[in-house]
Structure 1
């Protein structure tokens, strides 16, 4: 039983890595099995609906990890919107550098392929963005933002983070994260001062 569990975990982790690097459509089941070392029979035991079911579990795992990171950053910057935004951009930049600029956002990669995805995968990806935005908006409300401003600011931050990942992958530098954090912080500081 332990081997099956190990094979399942390895398969999910391998699929997440490949989906983040090359996307869903470009990642074949054969590549996932070869790189994870999981036997084909074990794969269909754990994922009887095949690659789509695997992708559902990968998305759920990725969203859970992202939510945990956002909550952690929020907890360590309670009441401070500027520090919160700086930590968000720093954290995402650090992850990009650690992956040698290979890892995109799983949700963004899959969202770019929405016509090729089934409705359940599309729903899960959309849910991931909604949850991320809600966590950021909730933090902003805790910093004194009006709900409408918190929601708008959160949506802008999520969009900026996703765009920054794309640019950082192309340019192979985290400079865009620094630039966006500075612009965001300057804009909010200026607004608060007026």
Structure 2
């Protein structure tokens, strides 16, 4: 990997980690530099728009990672209920491994930047739409009507994001497990109609 890409990628990866743990407002540029190991001048060289540009790209990077994970799970699972259940199990494990210090880097960033930073809002909206698209596609393939599949997909994202917040507050994966059970039941009921 070229030095340029290495520093740029390291800055983004550090930003995603820090935003996930401390939020956007709680993360300083000096922390991003320190965490990434990148030289000081590289931050504005690769991100001339400063922290807002880093925020946009961090949200895009995290969003694409989740989309890839959902697509991989969709290919390996039988229907939307199983897809959601497996994904929420992954999230529960990830939350426990972080001792409930991590959250969703997209949501924490959006909560602190919208509506002031339209570019970050747009990046978050695109990420959520991509996730919903994967879930909707899985639901339609299982025989759920398109309109119902779309509504369930968006509801799923809302429920899982809320459960992630509750996990951090409670220090327990129970909210994710509850959401997984209820969403699986909703998808199963929609498949039988």
For normalisation by structure 1, the TM-score amounts to 0.90
Q: Distance in 2 between matches of 1:100 and 1:94?
A: 10
Q: Distance in 2 between matches of 1:33 and 1:82?
A: 41
Q: What CA deviation, in whole Å up to 9, does each residue of 1:67-117 have, x standing for no partner?
A: 100101111114x23322211221221221222212111111122123464
Residues 1:99 and 1:189: Cα distance change in structure 2 (over 3 Å)? same
Q: Distance in 2 between matches of 1:116 and 1:149?
A: 29
* CA-based RMSD: 1.9
- Distance apart, 1:191 and its partner CA: 5.5
With 56-65 and 162-171 compared, the bigger mean Cα shift is at 56-65
Q: Does 1:97 pair with 2:96?
A: yes
Q: Does 1:31 pair with 2:21?
A: no
Please show how residues 113-152 of structure 1 align to structure 2 within 5 Å.
113-115=112-114, 117-152=116-151
Q: Distance in 2 between matches of 1:3 and 1:191?
A: 51
- Distance apart, 1:9 and its partner CA: 1.9
Conserved? CA contact 1:92–1:161, under 8 Å: no
Q: Does 1:81 pair with 2:73?
A: no
Residues 1:189 and 1:118: Cα distance change in structure 2 (over 3 Å)? closer
Conserved? CA contact 1:62–1:106, under 8 Å: yes
Q: Distance in 1 between matches of 2:142 and 2:152?
A: 12
Q: Which runs of 4+ in 1 moved over 4 A?
A: 190-194
Residues 1:115 and 1:83: Cα distance change in structure 2 (over 3 Å)? closer
Aligned to 1:64: 64
Aligned to 1:55: 55
- Distance apart, 1:146 and its partner CA: 0.3
Q: What CA deviation, in whole Å up to 9, does each residue of 1:116-165 have, x standing for no partner?
A: 64211111111111111111011100110001110111111111110110
Conserved? CA contact 1:85–1:181, under 8 Å: yes
Does the residue aligned with 2:34 lie in a helix, a strand or coil?
helix
Q: Distance in 2 between matches of 1:34 and 1:84?
A: 37
Between Structure 1 and Structure 2, how many residues are aligned? Answer: 193
Residues 1:190 and 1:49: Cα distance change in structure 2 (over 3 Å)? closer
Aligned to 1:40: 40
Conserved? CA contact 2:55–2:109, under 8 Å: no
- Residue ranges of structure 2 left out of the alignment (5+ in a row): none
- Residue ranges of structure 1 left out of the alignment (5+ in a row): none
